[in-house]
Structure 1
Amino acid sequence: MKSLLLGALWWGLACAVQAQWPSPDELKAQSAVLDARRLALDDQYKQEMRLCYQNFDVTSCRLQARDKQIQANAQLRKDELAHKNLERQIKSAQAQQRSLERDSQEQQQQADREQAVKAAREREQSQADKLSEHAAKGGQREAYEQKQREAQAHRDDLEKMRRERNAKPAKPLPVPGTAP
C-alpha cells in the first residue's frame, strides 16, 4: 500500500514537472529514494522468507512472499521507468538547447564572417578608388614633388649662404713686397 502511494506520488510528480524540469539535485534525491525503496523491498522480502522458514507450511508462505515481492517490484519498476523517462526527457531537452545555442553561435559567427568580408571588400574598393584617383592626378603629383625638390634645394642654398656670411673672414692676403 505504501509503495502504491509513493508510486502514484512519483508518477504525478513526473507528469506535473514536465513544464518545469527538476534540478539535478532533485533528480539525485529521487534516484536515491528509488534506490532506498529497492533496498527496503529486498530487505522486507528476505525478512519474510526468514519468517516463512519458521512456519510449518514453508512452501505456501514462500509463494505468498514471492507474489508480494513481484507486485512490489512491478510498482517500483514503473516508478523507476517514470524517473528514467524524466531523466531522458531532461537530457534530450538539454541536448536540444545546446544544439540551438551552437546553431545560434554558428549563425552569429557566419554573420560576423560575412560582415568582415563585406568590410574587406569595401576597403579594397576604397583602395582601388584611391589608386585610380592617384593615377588620374599622376602628372600633378610629379609637379608637386618637383616643386618640393626645388624648394628644398633653395633652402639648402640659403643655409649655405648664411653660413658663409657668418663665417670668420679669411686672413688678409700678404702685401706684395713684404716677406713673411
Structure 2
Amino acid sequence: MKKMFFSLLACVCVTAWCVEPSVNAAAPASGVVASQPLSGFPSDAERNEERVRLTRERQALEDKYRQEMKLCYQNFDVNSCRLQARDRRIEADTALRKQELRFNAQERQIHADEARRSLADRNSEASQKKAQAERAASIAASKERADANAQKQIDHALQGTKRGDYEQKQREAVQRRADAEKKLRERNKEPAAPLPVPGQ
C-alpha cells in the first residue's frame, strides 16, 4: 500500500513538473529575448522567487528520494525498490533540470543585456568625452592660429619700420667704413713725390 502511494505521488509530481515546462515553452526563445529590453524580463523579485522555488523543489526532490530509499530497506525486495526510486528521481530530476536550465539561460541573457547596456553607456560617455576633447583641442588650435596670425601682422607692421631703421643703419655703417678706410689711407700714404722744380 505504501509502495503504491509513493509511486502515485511520484507520478503526480513528475506530471506536474513535466507540464510546467510546456507552459513556459511559450516564453520567447533566447534569440528573441536578446533584442527585447530588460523590461521584457521578469523583475528581480520575480526572479528571486523563481530561484527560491527551484531550490526548494530541488531540496524536496532530494528529501523525497532519501525517504524512498529508507522505505526501500523496509521492503523484502530492496534492490527493485531502490531501482524504481532511482528511476523516479531521474525523471523528476530531468524535468526540474529543464526548468533550471531555462531559468539559468534567462539569467545569463539578463546579465548579458545589462553588460551590453553598461558597455554602450560607457562607450557613449567615452565618445562624448572624446568629442569634447576634440572640440576643445580644435578651439585651442584655432585660437593659437589666430594669435600667431595676429603676431605675424604686428611683426609685419613693425618690420616695415624696423626695416627702414635697419637699412639706415646699414647705410651709416657703409659710410663709416668708407670714411675709416679713407683716413687709414691718408695716414699710411707715402709722401708724394716732390714736385718738379720749375725751370729745371
Q: TM-score, normalised by structure 2?
A: 0.61
Does residue 69 in structure 1 map to residue 89 in structure 2? yes
Q: Report if aligned partners of 1:49, 1:62 keep a CA contact under 8 Å in 2.
A: yes
Offset of 1:30 from its aligned partner? 1.4
1:48 pairs with 58, 62, 68, which one? 68
CA distance in 2, matches of 1:4, 1:26: 21
Match of 1:4 among 3, 9, 18: 18
Matching residue of 2:4: none
Aligned twin of 2:143: 123
User: 2:109 pairs with 72, 85, 89, which one?
Assistant: 89
Change (3 A) 1:10 1:50: farther
Residue of structure 1 in register with 2:55 after alignment: 35
Aligned partner of 1:81: which letter? L
For 2:24 and 2:70, locate their aligned partners in 1 and report how far apart those are by CA, in whole Å.
Answer: 31
How far apart, CA to CA, are the structure 2 residues paired with 1:10 and 1:28? Answer: 17
1:138 aligns with 2:154: no
The 2-side partners of 1:113 and 1:45 are apart by 66
Task: Name structure 1 gaps, 5 residues minimum.
Answer: 140-180
TM (norm. structure 1) is 0.67
Structure-2 separation of matches of 1:7 and 1:66: 22
Structure 1 vs Structure 2 CA RMSD: 2.7
Residue 100 of structure 1: how far off its partner (Å)? 1.8
| Equivalent-residue separation in structure 2 for 1:3 and 1:41 (angstroms) | 11
> 5+ unaligned residues in a row in structure 2: which ranges?
1-14, 160-200
Q: Percent identity?
A: 36
